[in-house]
Amino acid sequence: MSLPSSDAARVFTLSDFDFELPESLIAQHPTAERSASRLLDGTGATPVDRIFKDLPGLLRAGDLVVFNDTKVINARLFGEKATGGKVELLIERVLGGNQVAAHMRVSKKPEVGATIKLTCAPGFEDGLCATLLGRWPNVDGPIYRFVLSNDQGDDPYTLMERHGHVPLPPYITHSDSPEDVQRYQTVFAKNPGAVAAPTAALHFDEGVFAQLDAMGVHRAHVTLHVGAGTFQPVKTENIAEHQMHSEWYNVPPETQEAIAACKARGGRIVAVGTTSVRTLESWAKTGVASGDTNIFITPGFDFKLVDVLVTNFHLPKSSLMMLVSAFTGYDHIMGLYREAIARGYRFFSYGDAMLLTRSA
């Protein structure tokens, strides 16, 4: 169903994307079974309560479902300065030459050249440390550049896998556990580099894949390494003044071919998650299949590729609230959020999902 929208003629401010959410609805743990989470079907004028494993029956033979195959890395590291002050690093991106870009939480910033001793995993006292080189990518930004190293000269991915912690979002209040190692990761995760999961894809399991295949629904993958900026609220009331964070993406040739074939047969492009939307629409807008994107999708955006969206429920005043409003219409999405809250849906990364169609 295509829902009419006059959003392009409206002027939106940050306050338009705010809503009150009871803390009890912020999911702290996943459902016992991935596909047993709830699904709010928002494809019609009246929302319908479903279970996620019902999703294949809501799609059509010939549709193409596009997933983000990024893999969450153990990007959170803890340590201390030479003075004994505690430090927490959240690796945003792996650069060349054992360098990483990271957010740093510390009471007093160390000087450039200082070395931070990082906490090793039990049984691995291998001299893990991080040396501060400066800020990245510019001198006044919030992200820092470090050399990550140990006695054996291992690469950053190996070091994070061994010593790091799952980078759970700030609204999840417990420390990472074996459950999070398994469940804050999609079952098809392939390309390491994300510091946040593409959460809409967490609901998919082999049973859902089998149903999709049986129905003649096709599948393809893109990659977007989700950054920590995905959790940052927009702070400017004039949303046009917001500076989006950049994330690396890739649309491989086989996915480009699958999209062309889907369009040729009259199928729909079904994006799993806002990260898949941002990847596909970045490619459609620029013609560049691989690189960095800081695309900011707000109401009035002209979607070129995505027809249907599977997504979780997003933070108030976030760029993702603006994206889903742009996709299916502001009034429609705000109505769906009111219904979801009233019906007790679980929100955010470990929460429930919704199904949306693109507005006219």
The 10s digit of each residue's pLDDT in 21-48 is 999 999 999 999 999 999 999 999 999 9
Q: Of the residues 95, 129, 163, which one is the last residue of a structural domain?
A: 163
| Cα–Cα distance list, 316 to 38, 227, 233, 324, 332 (Å) | 20, 18, 8, 12, 16
64 domain-assigned: yes
274 shares its domain with 340: yes
Q: Which domain holds residue 112?
A: 76-163
> How high is the pLDDT of residue 134?
96
339 domain-assigned: yes
State the first-to-last Cα distance of the chain, in angstroms, to the nearest integer: 9
Estimate to the nearest angstrom the gap between the alpha carbon of 291 and the chain centroid: 17
174 domain-assigned: no
Closest CA relative to residue 327, chosen from 308, 312, 345: 308
> How high is the pLDDT of residue 1?
41
The whole-model pTM stands at 0.95
- Residue 74 to residue 196: CA distance in whole angstroms: 10
Give the count of domains, the chain.
Answer: 2
C-alpha dihedral (252, 253, 256, 262), degrees to nearest 10: -110
- Residue 77 to residue 345: CA distance in whole angstroms: 32
169 domain-assigned: no
What confidence tens digit (pLDDT) does each residue in 103-129 have?
A: 999 999 999 999 999 999 998 989 999
- Residue 17 to residue 360: CA distance in whole angstroms: 21
Question: What percentage of the chain exceeds 90 in pLDDT?
Answer: 91
Q: What is the CATH number of the domain that holds 92?
A: 2.40.10
